[in-house]
Amino acid sequence: LHHHHHHASGKNVIVQDILGSCNLIIFLLQCLIIISCATLILGDGFHSEPLRKSTPPPQPEPYAYNYQVRDEETFTSFDKEEQQDSTGFVSGSYKVSLPDGRIQTVTYTADAIHGFEAEVTYEGEAQYPPEPTEEERHF
């Protein structure tokens, strides 16, 4: 291959150059075609609006899940559960152990009509750390 290169005339380089720019033009044309197709499909929302209304929206998939986090070192405790029914109504709750010893419970619901609604409740008494004494304050 090396030997062949020495005898290559300058013509080959010119041909490659022309081919390179041809490829570029083809590439740009393809891009333009893709863009114009995308605008045809995605754009012009007004014309396709009546079509969309006749087909019902996809039904929400019912689901349910829950998970728990237990971290002994930081005394973190976290429980969460959530479910959604076939109408798209989501309900769930989660409990968090607060640093002050209380448990915060958030119960929430969400749907298309009412949006997101949450109710927060607390269990237990807050345990505050004792006030530092005079000697400790100096450090």
Residues 7 and 40 in one domain: yes
> With 80 as the cut, is the pLDDT of residue 3 above it?
no
Structure confidence by residue, pLDDT tens digits, 59-87: 778 878 787 877 777 666 788 899 999 88
Give me the percent of the chain exceeding a pLDDT of 70. 49
User: What's the pTM?
Assistant: 0.42
Whether the predicted pLDDT of 103 surpasses 60: yes
Residue 74 and residue 118 in one domain: yes
- Dihedral, 96, 100, 102, 103 alpha carbons, nearest 10: 0
Q: Is residue 72 part of a domain?
A: yes
Residue 55, CA distances (Å) to 48, 60, 62, 92 in order: 11, 15, 21, 30
- Please write the tens of the pLDDT for every residue from 25-59: 667 777 676 666 566 555 554 444 444 455 555 67
110, 82: one domain: yes
Q: Which of 126, 131, 132 is CA-nearest to residue 99?
A: 126
